[in-house]
């Protein structure tokens, strides 16, 4: 019998205390470095590293996209499996694991929505927790659009309604862009260390779910408009 997806569970997170390990190649103890100081062999990322640690950038959620990309390219040039193809197999395995972690870290942090969701998890929170409802101001809009789409399909996709849907799409993207702006402002608040963290977390959750809903709606519209 096929499996069913399991609901996500909370994982104990928290930095590992072991900041010192030994090089797999020469045995020299090294403080969580990517390359052994003695023999220069590649080392795995320290266990418990978060995405900011992996990329070696300050833990700031309002990060500079260009700096992030620069850092990603720099690290790729040092850990990518292409560079370890003819080396010892252990180095090859480590390079593979490190690059997979690096790719995931970059993919998550470069996208503001994914980065926000990740930041929320770093705070020990999750979007699904006490937030299963459509954001209040969006609820009626979601309902309206679903109805519009159904009418469009039922009436044989008349051009007039198509234009209406295009108009709706424009409104939605404007709204989405605005929500991204709010998200950015929220990120700056976090980094400034000002405001109350609980309030910031609530605000972050509300913005993130708004963006998620808007994105789904836009995708539904696109499907109908293109199809």
Partner 1 sequence: MDRIFGIDLGTTNSLIAYLDGDTPCVIRDPKTGQGILPSVVSFPTPDEIAVGTAARDLAARFPLATIASVKRFMGLGMSHVSAEDRQYYRFADPDGADIVRFQIHERAYSAPEISAVILKELKLRAERALGEPVTRVVITVPAYFNDSQRQATKDAGRLAGLEVLRLLNEPTAAALAYGLDQRNQGTIAVYDFGGGTFDISILKLHEGIFQVLATNGDTRLGGDDLDRRIATRLLERIAADRRGHPDVVQACIRAAEAAKIHLTDAAEAMVQVRLPGLNVDASMPLTRAEFESAVSDIVDRTLGPCQQALKDAGLTRSDIDEVVLVGGSTRVPLVRARIEEFFGRRPHLDLNPEEVVALGAAIQAGVLSGRRTDVLLLDVVPLSLGIETVGGVMERIIERNTTIPVIGRQEFTTFVDNQTAVDFHVLQGERELVKDNRSLARFKLRGIAPLPAGVPRIEVTFMIDANGILNVTARDQRTGREHSIDVKPSYGLSDDIVERMLEESIDHAEEDVAARLLIEARNDGDALLRATHKQLAHATAEERPPIDAAIARLDAAMQTSDYNRIRDLTEELNQVTTPLAERLMDASIKEALEHKRVEDVG
Note whether 3 binds partner 1 by CB under 8 A.
yes
Could you give the CA distance from residue 123 to residue 43 in angstroms, rounded to a whole number? 28
Shortest distance (Å) from residue 95 CB to partner 1: 9
Helix (H, G, I), strand (E, B) or coil at 42: strand
Note whether 160 binds partner 1 by CB under 8 A.
no
**What are the φ and ψ backbone dihedral angles of 44, each rounded to 5 degrees?**
-70, 155
Shortest distance (Å) from residue 200 CB to partner 1: 28
In the complex with partner 1, the residue whose CB is nearer, 50 or 203, is 50
Note whether 101 binds partner 1 by CB under 8 A.
yes
Could you give the CA distance from residue 25 to residue 95 in angstroms, rounded to a whole number? 14
Which two three-digit tokens encode residue 107? 């993919």
Q: If we measure between CA atoms, which residue out of 25, 71, 72, 32 comes closest to residue 48?
A: 32
Note whether 106 binds partner 1 by CB under 8 A.
yes
Could you give the CA distance from residue 104 to residue 102 in angstroms, rounded to a whole number? 5
Shortest distance (Å) from residue 104 CB to partner 1: 7
What sign for the dihedral angle of Cα 85, 88, 94, 98? negative
Note whether 12 binds partner 1 by CB under 8 A.
no
In the complex with partner 1, the residue whose CB is nearer, 127 or 161, is 127
Per CB under 8 A, the list member of 21, 81, 134, 220 interacting with partner 1 is 81
Per CB under 8 A, the list member of 59, 60, 107, 153 interacting with partner 1 is 107
Per CB under 8 A, the list member of 26, 40, 67, 73 interacting with partner 1 is 73
Could you give the CA distance from residue 31 to residue 209 in angstroms, rounded to a whole number? 40
Task: Provide the 8-state DSSP code for 35.
Answer: B
Contact positions vs partner 1 (CB under 8 A): 1-6, 8-9, 73, 76-77, 80-83, 85-86, 96-97, 99-101, 103-104, 106-107
């Amino acid at each position: 019998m096929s499996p069913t997806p399991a609901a996500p569970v909370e994982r104990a997170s928290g930095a590992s205390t072991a900041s010192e390990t030994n090089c797999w190649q020469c045995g020299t103890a090294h403080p969580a470095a990517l390359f052994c100081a003695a023999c220069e062999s590649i080392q795995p990322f320290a266990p418990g590293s978060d995405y900011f640690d992996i990329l070696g950038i300050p833990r700031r959620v309002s990060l500079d996209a260009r700096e992030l990309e620069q850092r990603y390219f720099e690290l790729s040039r040092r850990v990518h499996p292409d560079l370890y193809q003819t080396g010892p197999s252990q180095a090859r395995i480590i390079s593979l694991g490190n690059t997979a972690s690096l790719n995931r870290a970059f993919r998550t942090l470069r996208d503001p929505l994914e980065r926000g969701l990740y930041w929320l998890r770093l705070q020990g929170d999750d979007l699904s927790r006490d937030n299963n409802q459509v954001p209040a101001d969006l609820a009626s809009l979601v309902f309206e659009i679903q109805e519009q789409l159904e009418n469009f399909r039922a009436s044989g996709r008349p051009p007039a309604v198509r234009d209406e849907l295009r108009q709706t799409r424009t409104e939605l993207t404007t709204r989405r862009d605005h929500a991204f702006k709010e998200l950015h402002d929220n990120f700056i608040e976090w980094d400034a260390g000002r405001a109350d963290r609980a309030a910031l977390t609530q605000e972050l959750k509300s913005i993130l779910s708004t963006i998620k809903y808007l994105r789904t709606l836009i995708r539904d519209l696109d499907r109908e408009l293109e199809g």
